[in-house]
Amino acid sequence: MTLFDAFSGAASSLSGPLPDPSADAGWSAEHPKRVGFFTDTSVCIGCKACEVACKEWNLVPDDGTDASDLYRLTGMSYDNTGDLGASTWRHVAFIEDVRPHGTATTGHMPSGLPALGGSLPRDAASAPPDGGTVDLLALLPDTGAHGQQTPDDERDVRWLMSSDVCKHCTHAGCLDVCPTGALFRTEFGTVVVQDDICNGCGYCVPSCPYGVIDVRESDGGAHKCTLCYDRLGEGLEPACAKACPTNSIQFGDLDELQAAADARLAELHGRGVEEARLYGRDPDDGVGGDGAFFLLLDEPEVYGLPPDPIVTTRDLPEMWRNAALTALGLGAAAVAAFFTGGRR
């Protein structure tokens, strides 16, 4: 860190726990509490209302479709958005998890499939213990022609759904590397792009350890979730959380969300959902904890999330030191080239 001592403001906060990122960014002590999202994927039903509400409120254009691929069908699952991007600030991941019979535990089980082995609940997250979920598949012709896995005795299928979003990291790589100051830390502790400043250099794009922010082709600017900065200022909750019909997306003060998430995790563990876990909750992780964190029912990478993200600028002081030493070496070599040997 020695190189950065000269820039003490920047050096203090490249990694590690940081209780108040807004104060670290220079906001006065009267700034509001840090807010965030807790996305409880155990109750997500994959309705994508969050995606739609986000697009509508924030006037986000379509995802760059062309006439040949109007609906951008991915062909992999009911997810036809694919990933977060410049024009997708909420993305509902949809995982169709096929397992050998009896090994699947939780998640939404499409009905009409073989019952689970053991006494595990069909949907430990939301279903009543008597397993009274609506049997949607039974309403459809049982031919497999509608793209479903044909039920058989060997396999169980479960559906995992998760509404992904910008994590509003405590140590945000995108914000650190932005050369124009277009990305900034708000008084709410969130990370927002100022579109009238961004010059489209694209440095934020590969610097995000989650692959969230991207440059939009049509206007050349970098875009991502603002956590509805405009709504926050008016005391409203973000559009996605407002629209979520199952309260999978919860908005609030971050400390309260963390407490609620801890309670929810304990509840699920108590009900035997051992694979439930919190993701992005830990302030000791590689990004200092996320402002938007998740309860997942499988490994993060299954949802397209990095299992152990680290903000790239954690190693920046060492990188600058290496580059400075190498620059000295290059200069010395170029000078030395004039002095070794004698003959011209």
Partner 1 sequence: MTDANPAEMPERFRGRGRGGNREELQVPEAEFRSYYGRPIIKAPVWKNPDVPLYLFLGGLAGSSSVLAAMARATGRPTLRRAGRLGAAAGAVGGTVFLVHDLHRPRRFLHMLRVFKPTSPLSVGTWILSPFATFAAATAATEVTGWFRRTGDVTGVAAAVVGPALATYTAVLFSNTAVPTWHEAHRHLPILFGSSAAAAGGGFGLVFSSVRDNEPAARLAIAGAATELAIDEKMQRDLGMLADVYCKGRAKTLMRASKTCLVAGALGALVGRRRRWSAALSGLALMAGSALTRFGVFDAGIASANDPAHIVVPQRERIRQRQASTETATTPPDRTFA
- List the interface residues with partner 1, window 65-84 (CB under 8 A): 74, 76-77, 82-83
Least spacing, CB of residue 283 vs partner 1, in Å: 10
- What x/- string results for residues 5 through 34 when contact with partner 1 is judged by CB under 8 A? --x--x---x--------------------
Q: Which residue has the tokens 């609506």?
A: 134
Least spacing, CB of residue 235 vs partner 1, in Å: 31
Which 152-191 residues touch partner 1, going by CB under 8 A?
Answer: 173, 176-182
Least spacing, CB of residue 210 vs partner 1, in Å: 7
Residue 72 has a CB neighbour count (10 Å cut-off) of: 13
Q: Where are the alpha helices (DSSP H) in 35-129?
A: 49-58
Q: Which is nearer to partner 1, 56 or 262 (CB)?
A: 262
Distance CA 317, CA 323 (A): 10
Nearest to 261 by CA among 291, 287, 240, 237: 291
Structure tokens at 192: 């927002």
Choose the stretch contacting partner 1; rule: CB under 8 A; options: 32-40, 42-50, 131-139, 306-314: 306-314
Using CB under 8 A, pick the residue from 62, 135, 274, 318 that binds partner 1: 318
Choose the stretch contacting partner 1; rule: CB under 8 A; options: 43-51, 123-131, 243-251, 277-285: 277-285
Distance CA 141, CA 136 (A): 11
Residue 329 has a CB neighbour count (10 Å cut-off) of: 10
Nearest to 33 by CA among 257, 245, 265: 257
Choose the stretch contacting partner 1; rule: CB under 8 A; options: 36-44, 46-54, 140-148, 274-282: 274-282
Task: Identify whether the C-beta of residue 111 lies closer than 8 Å to the C-beta of residue 136.
Answer: yes
Which 192-231 residues touch partner 1, going by CB under 8 A?
Answer: 197-203, 205-215, 220-221
Distance CA 84, CA 162 (A): 12
**DSSP strand pairing (292-296 vs 35-40):** parallel
Least spacing, CB of residue 250 vs partner 1, in Å: 18
Q: Which is nearer to partner 1, 32 or 114 (CB)?
A: 114
Which 104-163 residues touch partner 1, going by CB under 8 A?
Answer: none
Q: Which is nearer to partner 1, 44 or 239 (CB)?
A: 44
Task: Identify whether the C-beta of residue 86 lies closer than 8 Å to the C-beta of residue 174.
Answer: no
Nearest to 21 by CA among 176, 196, 232: 176
Least spacing, CB of residue 104 vs partner 1, in Å: 10
Q: Which is nearer to partner 1, 205 or 243 (CB)?
A: 205
Q: Which residue has the tokens 């691929």?
A: 69
Q: Which is nearer to partner 1, 242 or 314 (CB)?
A: 314
